[in-house]
């Protein structure tokens, strides 16, 4: 059995469905939770994962095709992007190898532009990711032998905490989660979030002013909390 990742929440292994290679995401039983609550939460997350994946695709945002779901075994079978890497690995391991600084900057702009556009499309369709981090965004190379990822398709993954909501505040919080995670994961590149936000604004067609106001409100509350300790 090929294990792709063993995380705190789930184990990802390679498997097969309908004669095709796929990825199996199996959520662990959490023994510190009451068994009924744990079973309930796991099912909610699996349903959210499969629903939002399909809704993203309908909205023109790339996401894995969900092939099969086994609620009792806690397994989701999904499309596997074999050559992909996470945006986190791209920023941390691929970009530093680009020696030309102008090209590096161009690549950062392309990436932040695409991420902002994706999130903008999701929010326009009232799809809230719930856990926006660079580990939950994949780059799938267009040319299979392109190990430097010159051109790629962006794919959103990990929708266990996702939801459908029209609320500007919920969208603002989604953006705030991303900002916080970028600040901690990619502190060396300070403008990532602002460039993502620029592209987001260009792609989001609904309630933009209100979403940004809510985002700033949530951020101010966060700052205050940090100051008070």
Ligand X SMILES: Nc1ncnc2c1ncn2[C@@H]1O[C@H](COP(=O)(O)OP(=O)(O)OP(=O)(O)O)[C@@H](O)[C@H]1O
User: Considering the rule CB under 5 A, would residue 49 count as an interface residue with Mg ion?
Assistant: no
Q: Is 74 left (phi over 0), alpha (psi -120 to 50) or beta?
A: left
Is the separation of the CB atoms in 7 and 56 below 8 Å?
A: no
| Alpha-helix runs per DSSP H in 59-100 | 87-89
Kindly state the greatest CA–CA separation across the chain. 57
By beta-carbon proximity to ligand X, the closer residue of 74 and 214 is 74
Site for ligand X in 33-92 (CB under 6 A): 64, 78-81, 84, 86
Residue of 49, 114, 158, 174 that binds Mg ion (CB under 5 A): 158
Strands of the sheet containing 66-70, edge to edge, are: 3-6, 10-17, 20-27, 75-78, 66-70
Residue of 92, 135, 167, 207 that binds ligand X (CB under 6 A): 135
Least Å from the CB of residue 189 to ligand X: 19
Residue of 42, 136, 168, 181 that binds Mg ion (CB under 5 A): 136
By beta-carbon proximity to ligand X, the closer residue of 144 and 226 is 144
By beta-carbon proximity to ligand X, the closer residue of 138 and 211 is 138
Token couple for 122: 């999701």
Is the separation of the CB atoms in 50 and 160 below 8 Å?
A: no
Residue of 112, 160, 182, 196 that binds ligand X (CB under 6 A): 160
User: Of the ranges 25-33, 79-87, 127-135, 167-175, which one interacts with Mg ion (CB under 5 A)?
Assistant: 127-135
By beta-carbon proximity to ligand X, the closer residue of 132 and 211 is 132
User: Considering the rule CB under 6 A, would residue 157 count as an interface residue with ligand X?
Assistant: yes
Site for ligand X in 1-30 (CB under 6 A): 4-5, 7, 9-10, 12, 23, 25
C-alpha–C-alpha distance, residues 201 and 209, integer Å = 9
C-alpha–C-alpha distance, residues 118 and 121, integer Å = 5
By beta-carbon proximity to Mg ion, the closer residue of 3 and 102 is 3
To the query of whether residue 131 is one of the catalytic residues in this protein, the response is yes
Active-site residue, from 131, 145, 146, 174: 131
Q: Which helix (H) or strand (E) holds 182?
A: helix 168-185
- Smallest CA-to-CA distance from 112 within 93, 131, 90 is with 90
Q: Which sequence positions are flagged as catalytic?
A: 131
Under the rule (CB under 5 A), what is the footprint of Mg ion? Answer: 135-136, 158
């Amino acid at each position: 059995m090929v294990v792709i990742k063993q995380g705190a929440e789930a184990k990802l292994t390679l498997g097969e469905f309908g004669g095709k290679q796929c990825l199996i995401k199996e959520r662990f039983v959490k023994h510190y939770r009451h068994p009924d609550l744990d079973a309930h939460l796991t099912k909610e997350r699996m349903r959210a994962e499969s629903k939002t994946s399909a809704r993203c695709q309908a909205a023109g945002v790339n996401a894995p095709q969900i092939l099969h779901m086994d609620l009792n075994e806690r397994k989701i079978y999904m499309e596997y992007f074999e050559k992909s890497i996470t945006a986190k690995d791209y920023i941390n391991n691929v970009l530093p190898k680009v020696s030309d600084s102008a090209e590096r900057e161009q690549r950062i702009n392309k990436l932040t532009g695409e991420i902002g556009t994706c999130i903008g499309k999701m929010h326009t369709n009232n799809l809230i990711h719930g856990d926006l981090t660079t580990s939950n965004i994949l780059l799938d190379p267009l040319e299979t032998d392109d190990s430097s990822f010159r051109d790629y398709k962006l794919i959103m993954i990990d929708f266990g905490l996702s939801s459908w909501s029209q609320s500007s505040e919920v969208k603002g919080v989604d953006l705030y989660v991303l900002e916080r995670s970028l600040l901690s994961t990619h502190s060396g590149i300070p403008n990532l979030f602002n460039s993502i936000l620029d592209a987001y604004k260009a792609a989001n067609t609904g309630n933009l002013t209100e979403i940004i106001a809510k985002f700033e409100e949530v951020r101010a509350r966060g700052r205050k909390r940090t100051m008070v300790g």
